[in-house]
Amino acid sequence: MSARSVTAVASPSLALVKYWGKSDAKRNTPATSSVAVTLSGLESRTTVTPTPPDSEEDVVYIDGAQQPAERFSRFFENVRRVIESDLHFDAKSTNNFPTAAGIASSASGFAALTVASARCAGVDLPPENLSAIARVGSASAARSIFGGFTHLAADAEQATTLFPCEHWPAFRIVVVAITTSGKGVSSRDAMERSRRTSPYYQSWLEDAKLRSEEARTAIEKRDIERLGTIMRLSYLRMFSTMFSCDPPIIYWHPTSLSLIHLCETLRGEGIGAWETMDAGPQVKIACLESDTEVIIRRIEELRPECRMYVCAPGTGASIIETDEW
């Protein structure tokens, strides 16, 4: 039985080891294996209602702005196929952090949309199946269905949990929001351009195979230094494929670079600050709770204009409200 409306929440999935490139663009499966952490405190909140029976359109609003239908058409077609229904959906989503600026709002957004749409249609699916549905929208969203530390293998349809939130309570990510303006090139287009035009793309795929297993072991041992070293290799090699595109893609802002250098200085002083970046100028810093205060103070001194969010390993996507008929 379908519901009148369902509201779900999900948090961004920050990749410690990056997914960059697709093994199959139609299925939207990743070419590289990724390891991520779901971020507490940052959240997409999505309310889904079925559209009237004669309606043939799905409508999505994010932070009040209607989204282009083509970004969602394959996702909703797949939802209807899986739930064996011809329902169409009206979705309204809000983020409590900057949208489409490299803080993985598509991961949390599609995860919340998946969970709310399935329940709205009256189907109860296990997280594995929800993860596979979310992946069609955005591969990183397959990870956001789960909490804690997650893994999405190369060519996989669904993500898995590596370790729950409680495994490493002292682990923190400081998200430094440098600018709230959206990105110029979507991560999807940037991946495709990397595949088509970067002479380093094949080497990236080859090298990336090693990183996920190494990261899993570092997380298992709660070894921030080992994990941080792997994170840096992963994001800097991912960006090497972008810098070497034709035309090149440069998401970095001067402030991004100054924060990368600050992390290097902090590590030189014995403070474990390990940065990573995604398809945008924001810098995310992995550290331990005990070092968070000093890291924040040093960022404030250097770049007082930056907004910061301190996140612990967070929980997976969930339903927070259902209005039944």
Binding of residue 279 to ligand DP6 (CB under 6 A) = yes
Pick from 40, 93, 106, 282 the residue near ligand DP6 by CB under 6 A: 106
For the chain, the first-to-last Cα distance in angstroms comes to 8
- Give the footprint of ligand DP6 on residues 23-52 (CB under 6 A): 28, 34
User: From residue 115, how far is each of 46, 140, 222, 226, 245 by CA, in Å?
Assistant: 9, 15, 31, 34, 36
Q: Report the nearest approach of ligand DP6 to the CB of residue 139 (Å).
A: 4
Binding of residue 187 to ligand DP6 (CB under 6 A) = yes
Nearer to ligand DP6, 119 or 151 (CB): 151
Asked if 16 and 121 touch (Cβ cutoff 8 Å), the reply is no
Task: Tell me, residue by residue from 107 to 136, as one string, x for binding to ligand DP6 by CB under 6 A and - for no binding.
Answer: x-----------------------------
Binding of residue 215 to ligand DP6 (CB under 6 A) = no
Pick from 114, 129, 131, 140 the residue near ligand DP6 by CB under 6 A: 140
99/248 Cα distance (integer angstroms): 23
Give the CA dihedral 125, 316, 128, 215, nearest 10 degrees.
180
Asked if 36 and 230 touch (Cβ cutoff 8 Å), the reply is no
Pick from 6, 9, 10, 15 the residue near ligand DP6 by CB under 6 A: 15
Tell me how many residues contact ligand DP6 (CB under 6 A).
Answer: 16
Burial class (CB in 10 A: 0-12, 13-18, 19+), 95: buried
Q: Which stretch binds ligand DP6 (CB under 6 A): 12-20, 74-82, 91-99, 285-293?
A: 12-20
Q: Which stretch binds ligand DP6 (CB under 6 A): 101-109, 118-126, 162-170, 175-183?
A: 101-109
Phi, psi of 139, rounded to the nearest 5 degrees: -65, -35
Burial class (CB in 10 A: 0-12, 13-18, 19+), 211: buried
Q: Which stretch binds ligand DP6 (CB under 6 A): 17-25, 197-205, 241-249, 252-260?
A: 17-25
Asked if 295 and 274 touch (Cβ cutoff 8 Å), the reply is no
Residues that bind ligand DP6 (CB under 6 A): 15, 18-20, 28, 34, 104, 106-107, 138-140, 187-188, 278-279
